[in-house]
Structure 1
Amino acid sequence: MKPDFSENHVFVMDTDRYYSQVKDSYEGVLTEQECKKALRFLRVEDYRNYVARKYFVRKLLAVYLDEGPQEITFQLSAQKKPYIEGIEFNVSHSAEMAVIALSKAPVGIDIEFVKTDFSYHTLLADCFDSEEQDAIHKANDQLLAFYTLWTRKEALLKASGDGLVKEQLNEVNVLQNKTVHHRKTYHLFSTLLTENYMMSTAFTLSSIKTHYWNV
């Protein structure tokens, strides 16, 4: 089914499984430079993850642009965020999962593998304001609350083009599902994809439908 590019889309990918589907054809989709970069990864998991993500993004945008996937040229914003004229996209990956968000307006997405032994307490003062810290401390599952707010911040800052800058992390409050940053309204949504992966999105277009796809 061809996506309706006038609406929002989120694609969820098991990169290892998807790589097994494209491993014999990816060299006809990725550019020569991307193929060389893939081979420089030392860990097999990183290599497969990179190939799967690049392959899917190029094939997806090729449908939108109606041109060959290898012919697509990505532009870089002043903040080094890749973009294609006329459509916004954002990619995130963690462990064996990757997610891609697509929209007609600025969008950000983040996924994180929930590490049960992660010492998140050391990050609270630098990355969250007092209200957010209080919410984490009062949560029934503090670790999950941390990952929810962390992925929201990253999704929002990726959507705005700021990137994950430490100095800005505690300046933007993401407790509510709607927040204003740089005079632009972002609509936030978080979900636990599985018991191990937290995902958050930040869309500027909330009046249109968002579709979720497993690839």
Structure 2
Amino acid sequence: MSGSVSIKPDDKKEEKPAAAMLPPPPKPTASSMEMQSGKNKSRRKRNCKICVCFSILLFLLICIIIIILAFTLFKPKRPVTTMDSISVERLRASVNPLLLKVFLNLTLNVDLSLKNPNRVGFSYDSSSALLSYRGQLIGEAPLPASRIAPRKTHLLNLTLTLMADRLLSESELLSDVMAGVIPLNTFVKVSGKVSVLKIFKIKVQSSSSCDLIVSVSDRNVTSQNCKYSTKL
């Protein structure tokens, strides 16, 4: 038996294809970088414009709402000053026929009410209630500054005393006292501000003037005619 010799072919190694070499990414040029930067700036500017426009619209809307409320729901109304009653507290009158001189001592009580019809508070300055005789100021009482709450009324009691040294027209006074009646006038003016939403401050003014007749014999007010005035 003859020996057989098997010859194995040489193992051939599989040759792997060489990986394809990709070209390196292009480096950004100066022009492309400028274009990208320009796009970013344009985007930021557009966003800023949108924010500014939105803020302006919101501000205008708030202003419109405030104005509508100020002149509708919170529309300022005129305060009212009223002299509810005027009475004689003290009256002494005598005439010296030889000297044709009058001695007069007069004190009046005035009940005053200040009404605030507004939905907001009304602050008024200090003033005075005035007592006059035939155009001459003969007495006054202080009215201190204060604040009236919304839709509230202040009740005040004032005392007006005649100041004898201010009576200059004694001839007319002598005639009036002899006739038994003394014509007088009481006047009160209140000036202040109504603050609407703490933004708008509107000046308001209210006044009250009363002509009255005081009876010397009865020592009381026999006639009273009042006029009231208010304005913004």
Question: Shorter-chain TM-score: which interval?
Answer: under 0.3
Q: What TM-score, normalized to structure 2?
A: 0.21
Relative to its length, the structure with more helix (as a share) is: 1
The structure showing larger relative contact order (alpha-carbon pairs under 8 Å, at least 6 residues apart) is 1
Relative to its length, the structure with more strand (as a share) is: 2
Larger Rg: 2
